[in-house]
Amino acid sequence: MEIVELGHPVLRKRAISIRSVKNPQIQALIDDMLSTLTSVGGMGIAAPQVNQSLRLIVVASHPTPNYPNAPEMEPTPMINPEVIALSEQMEDGWEGCLSIPGIRAKVPRHIWVSARYRTRDGKAREEIFEGFAARIFQHEYDHLNGIVYLDRITSTRNIITEKEFTRLMEGGGR
């Protein structure tokens, strides 16, 4: 699927709830988002990024050269996700976005988040995400409310290019 980029109005809209998880079009959209995410090697994607203004995200944390400490998890589609509670404590970490190619930025996020969502089988689930998985969840959840990670940074000085980011990670530090 084609990924829309910053400037496209769908990324600034509040996405609408999914009424019927079992709807074949929704199931097909989930499959398409999963394969898109795999083909680009991403760790998360939200339906607005494929131009579908619906409350659906996929979180798929896995270690990469740039994020060696990211936990390994099955790509998990989450329908109509809701935040139940957030840690008071926050921490800075590097993020990028498929819809904002070429740059990375240091973003403060809650260190854990408890959330509820429906699985693709329609089952209600509650889960606590920690560390990098919590970061991905918050990033993708923001997309459903028209928010991108650049809205969350505390200084434009925390934005760097992809090339410099790779150099930084190869150097093994921040």
Given the rule CB under 5 A, which residues bind Zn ion? 97
Annotated catalytic, 91?
no
| Catalytic residue selected from 5, 72, 82, 140 | 140
From the list 35, 36, 59, 33, the residue with the least C-alpha distance to 142 is 59
Q: Which is nearer to Zn ion, 30 or 97 (CB)?
A: 97
CA 59/CA 45 separation, integer angstroms: 7
Q: Which is nearer to Zn ion, 59 or 97 (CB)?
A: 97
- Find the shortest distance in angstroms from Cβ 16 to Zn ion: 19
- Find the shortest distance in angstroms from Cβ 143 to Zn ion: 6
CB atoms within 10 A of CB 23: 11
CA 136/CA 92 separation, integer angstroms: 13
Q: Which residue is nearest to Zn ion (CB)?
A: 97
- Find the shortest distance in angstroms from Cβ 138 to Zn ion: 11
CA 150/CA 64 separation, integer angstroms: 22
Q: Which sequence positions are flagged as catalytic?
A: 140
